[in-house]
Amino acid sequence: MKKNALLFTFSALFILSSNLYSQQITIGAKGGLSIPNLTGGSSQNPLSEGWSSRMGADGGIYGEYHVTKPFSISVGLEYSSQGGQKSGLQAFPNLQPPPTYLYADFKNNAKYDYLLFPVLAKYTWKISKKSPFKIYASFGPFAGILLDAKQVTSGSSTLSMLNPDNKTYTQMTSTQQPFNATTNIKNDLNSFNVGIEGFVGISYRVNKTSAVFIEGGGNYGFMPIQKGSANGKNYTGAGVVTVGYAYTLPGKHKYTRSR
């Protein structure tokens, strides 16, 4: 149902832009840094807690349809690195409960790769009539497809259990246990997500058809990434900084008003 609604929205935006626009199209590519994190952890499940930001890659291509000189709608295809990391004492599932969880001191890196399909409304301001610089802001929804998901752990530690008072730990083993592993957890996560994305940026016009730009912003998913609550309940999102190149296709740039 959500997929059908999103497809209907995208189709409506395409039709709208076609009716309002007379032949000015800009295409572009961008790439840069993604700083994702996992948020919304529930205190009822310790697997959801303690995540902090990691670093990854972000980049994509887009087509921009100019409705008026300052206003445009863009449709993109974007690779987005998501996830988070933990370091230190943390919970992990006990394969032979009770207790349900054991605790150990190790590094835990959640690496998720998504393909995003954003549809963004963009508004551009001229700094001055003669200046080659412009500033802009864009905002809109995205649909996301999970490409890959891995949990990379490292280090070694003794194992402990959390006492009923939830304040102290009792050591369960006297020897160090290794945690060096890379685990494919794609089947534990939802393959689809929807959310919002937004950017602010500044562009420099190289000539009549070409421009370079730098922008900063982020994205946030509305749906929990886990299929069930056994592995926690988190939402993913990222801060993004990219640089890019835009090329406006030749054509008669005549704008019309909608009725």
Q: What are 124-160's pLDDT values in tens digits?
A: 999 988 899 999 999 999 999 999 999 999 999 999 9
Burial pattern 158-174, b for ≥16 Cβ within 10 A else e, equals ebbbbeeeeeeeeeeee
2-248 maps to CATH 3.40.1390.30:
no
Residues 6+ apart with CB under 8 A from 58: 31, 32, 33, 34, 78, 79, 80, 81, 238, 240, 242
pLDDT band at 167; cut points 50, 70, 90: confident
**The model's pTM:** 0.86
pLDDT of 42 reads 62
The mean predicted confidence, pLDDT, of the chain is 89
Using the predicted structure, report yes or no on whether residue 5 has a pLDDT greater than 50: no
Domain layout of the chain by residue ranges: 2-248
Average pLDDT over residues 205-229: 95
What pLDDT band is residue 96 in, cutting at 50, 70 and 90?
Answer: confident
What pLDDT, in 10s, does the model give residues 102-122? 999 999 999 999 999 999 999
How far CA 256 is from CA of 13, 20, 27, 66, 69, in Å, comes to: 17, 6, 21, 11, 11
